[in-house]
Structure 1
Amino acid sequence: MIVELGSRGYDVSSRALVMGILNRTPDSFYDAGSYWDFDAFLGRAEKLVAEGADLLDVGGVKAGPGPEVTEAEEMDRVVPAIEALHRRFDLPISVDTWRASVARESYAAGAVVGNDISGFADPDFLPAAAEAGASVVACHVRLAPRVADPEPVYGNLMEEVSRFLSERARWAVDAGIPARRVMLDAGHDLGKTPQMSTELLHRAGELVDLGYPVLLSVSNKRFLGELTGTDVGDRREATLAAHTLGIGLGCRILRAHDVVGTRRVADFMSAILQSRGAMA
């Protein structure tokens, strides 16, 4: 299986890519604005690259409820950041946004991936990505980003998530984006209870069977805390275990706060998968 990110193609048949998370928000659930200062942000990026990130994901609005962030504010947060990263590092950059206007400006600044947790709710999102030659992430969300959804109800969770993502992937291909530039994300904790997110992780292989690379975005999330009884700052081991399981089930892009740990997990699992292939 090949994943294309900008001008690069990655064979992920036995290798998982590590996507380093870079927040340009003062209120992110994990770092709570620790890297809000621009110099601190750039220092954090340098650290993630040195630790082995394959690509960087820049977001200017947290997924959960919070104060309004206007389109102009989001632009100011992410576009200069992407420009700076593009000048400094020779690796793909992703923009975490659901606004087509922000994505378009981010592509012009050097981003090559549009990571949209809304499931392409903005009708201009996919045309903007196709025009720029960008890759996209189709993510499942039950309601919408930033909308509280404390008691979600599904008839059949896996069936509904799979159908939603298959449809969004088809939208992307129909918009002119090659299938090798389309990734799927189950949207853990986005309109899901901890039990639902756990089920989606356990059954990640069913999303892999849809035929597109699966991005696993579970790093330090609430459902891991519920499973282990840990606060957000103490979920490293649970995250690394989830990444290991995800790779074993076929997930090939790992969105991570802890790049050094995730890199080691990805490299270890790559060696295992290559060994298995050699023996087959």
Structure 2
Amino acid sequence: MDNSGQNYWQCGRFQIDLAQPKIMGIVNLTPDSFSDGGSYSSSLTLALKHAEQLLKDGADILDIGGESSRPGSDFVSPQDEWKRIEPVLRELVTWNVPLTVDTRRTWVMHQLLEQQLADGINDIQALEDAGAVDLLAQQQNIGVCLMHMQGQPENMQHNPEYQDVVTEVGQYLQQRVSVCEQAGIERLRLTIDPGFGFGKSLQHNIALMQHFADWHAAAGCPVLIGVSRKTMIGLLTDETEPRQRVVGSVVAAVAAVARGAAIIRVHDVRETRQGLQVWAALGGSI
């Protein structure tokens, strides 16, 4: 369970109970996604069918993304990002399920909030885009996930370097939480993400998992973890095909929850739910 002392996440229309770990299902609306190759971006029908299946499989939250953040990804304009996600969100917002949007653009955030199409913002740049903090501070209940990333998606995996990755990630997240709070964004609206695979080598990722409590304590907010199908899983298992990394991803998700993660962002919801259920039934502390 979340060990930050915060027992729920204020996320738009919802107060999400964190006494038990929550599963965030990924809805990629990008044609160049590393994990599914744009399988659900070609039509509104396919995207909604996928979202429905994630909920049937046990997702507690849906995370919708219109810009790929895979290493080396191409630039997408905020306007094109918006065109990808807006039709899907207009339908999903009627489903009475928590909706977060994976975006780093203030312009996109403004459209979302003005049209009331998102409960939370999941930002790989931790609201560093100009005006993002002030925009979210004007909202009463919108949830925010602040993620650490070294560099930008197009270059972040070009030899990332740290003196002490655990300390540096913790300090960065602590600083971003402070900036948000000083602007008027309540802590109950905040979650943090160390950004596995975002400007980090395999050894950096392993260190962050092994020393989870150290960087987590620095910021003191509930933790969202995304390791699903990522390169780190492939390197640990010698599996080059992202879709074949399900078992490794589930093991990593359970390991993160065992260390204190409150929310797990995944592609494979059913398998992750089963893994967490078995872990808990066998006496695992969640």
TM-score computed with the length of structure 2 as normaliser: 0.90
- Counterpart Cα distance in 1 of 2:120 and 2:172: 20
1:217 aligns with 2:226: yes
- Counterpart Cα distance in 2 of 1:140 and 1:168: 9
Change beyond 3 A, Cα 1:91–1:269: farther
1:175-254 matched pairs, under 5 angstroms: 175-209=183-217, 210-231=219-240, 232-254=242-264
Contact 1:240 1:262 in 2 (8 A): yes
* Residue matched to 1:130: 137
Higher alpha-carbon deviation: 212-221 or 75-84: 75-84
SS in 2 for 1:36: coil
Letter in 1 for 2:275: V
Letter in 2 for 1:220: R
Q: 2:75 aligns with which of 50, 68, 72?
A: 68
Contact 1:83 1:109 in 2 (8 A): no
Contact 2:171 2:215 in 1 (8 A): no
Higher alpha-carbon deviation: 17-26 or 105-114: 105-114
Which structure has the highest helix share of the two?
1
Runs of 4 or more, structure 1, over 4 Å off, are 268-273
1:163 aligns with 2:168: no
Change beyond 3 A, Cα 1:83–1:157: same
Contact 1:208 1:251 in 2 (8 A): no
Letter in 2 for 1:53: A
- Counterpart Cα distance in 1 of 2:137 and 2:279: 33
Contact 1:26 1:34 in 2 (8 A): yes
Letter in 2 for 1:258: D
- Counterpart Cα distance in 2 of 1:34 and 1:10: 29
Contact 1:79 1:109 in 2 (8 A): no
Contact 2:28 2:40 in 1 (8 A): yes
Q: 2:118 aligns with which of 111, 120, 128?
A: 111
Q: What are structure 1's unaligned runs of at least 5 residues? A: none
- Counterpart Cα distance in 1 of 2:156 and 2:208: 20
How much has 1:8 moved relative to structure 2?
A: 2.1
Q: 2:149 aligns with which of 141, 144, 151?
A: 141
Change beyond 3 A, Cα 1:63–1:276: closer
Letter in 1 for 2:248: A
Letter in 2 for 1:154: Y
SS in 2 for 1:114: strand
Higher alpha-carbon deviation: 157-166 or 207-216: 207-216
1:173 aligns with 2:181: yes
1:5 aligns with 2:14: no
CA root-mean-square deviation: 1.8
Taking only the aligned residue pairs, the percentage that are identical comes to 30
Letter in 1 for 2:228: S
SS in 1 for 2:145: strand
SS in 2 for 1:240: helix
Count, aligned residues: 274
- Counterpart Cα distance in 1 of 2:14 and 2:196: 28
How much has 1:95 moved relative to structure 2?
A: 0.6
- Counterpart Cα distance in 2 of 1:145 and 1:173: 27
Q: What are structure 2's unaligned runs of at least 5 residues? A: 1-6
- Counterpart Cα distance in 2 of 1:46 and 1:99: 27
- Counterpart Cα distance in 1 of 2:147 and 2:256: 16
Contact 2:109 2:121 in 1 (8 A): yes
SS in 2 for 1:121: coil
Higher alpha-carbon deviation: 115-124 or 50-59: 115-124
Q: What do residues 169-202 of structure 1 show as CA deviations (whole Å, max 9, x unaligned)? A: 1112122111111111011111001111121122
